[in-house]
Amino acid sequence: NAGVMQNPRHLVRRRGQEARLRCSPMKGHSHVYWYRQLPEEGLKFMVYLQKENIIDESGMPKERFSAEFPKEGPSILRIQQVVRGDSAAYFCASSPLQTSGNTGELFFGEGSRLTVL
């Protein structure tokens, strides 16, 4: 039973290029979350998605960042015109549909580490 799969694990981009990070949730999970971890800082919530819907994007920067979770395929976090400050580890997590028996536990991928030169 595969866990949360993120790719690429490492991505290098030059300033002004685009970065696309992919996340395939665990089988049977319908919720995807993206978090950003800056060096020596904790995890910052970015966005929470269900299939074809953005539920909460209160942590997303207003410009250059977007996320989607299409009906088919992985969730994508897209960063346009990257700047050096975007260098960070981006973690994806998934969870099943929360019901009365579900505790909201998240299952994390290994992360994608973006370096902007």
Partner 1 sequence: AQSVTQLGSHVSVSEGALVLLRCNYSSSVPPYLFWYVQYPNQGLQLLLKYTTGATLVKGINGFEAEFKKSETSFHLTKPSAHMSDAAEYFCAVSGNNNDMRFGAGTRLTVKP
55 binds partner 1 (CB under 8 A): yes
DSSP the chain: ----EEE-SEEEE-TT--EEEEEEPPTT--EEEEEEE-TT--EEEEEEEETTEEEE-TTS-SSSEEEE--SSS-EEEEE-S--GGG-EEEEEEEEPPP-TT-----EE---EEEEE-
Q: Measured from the CB atom, is 17 or 106 closer to partner 1?
A: 106
Binding residues for partner 1, total number by CB under 8 A: 25
Q: Is 95 in the site for partner 1 (CB under 8 A)?
A: yes
Binding site for partner 1 (CB under 8 A): 4, 31, 33, 35, 41-43, 45, 48, 55-56, 91, 93, 95, 98, 103-111, 113
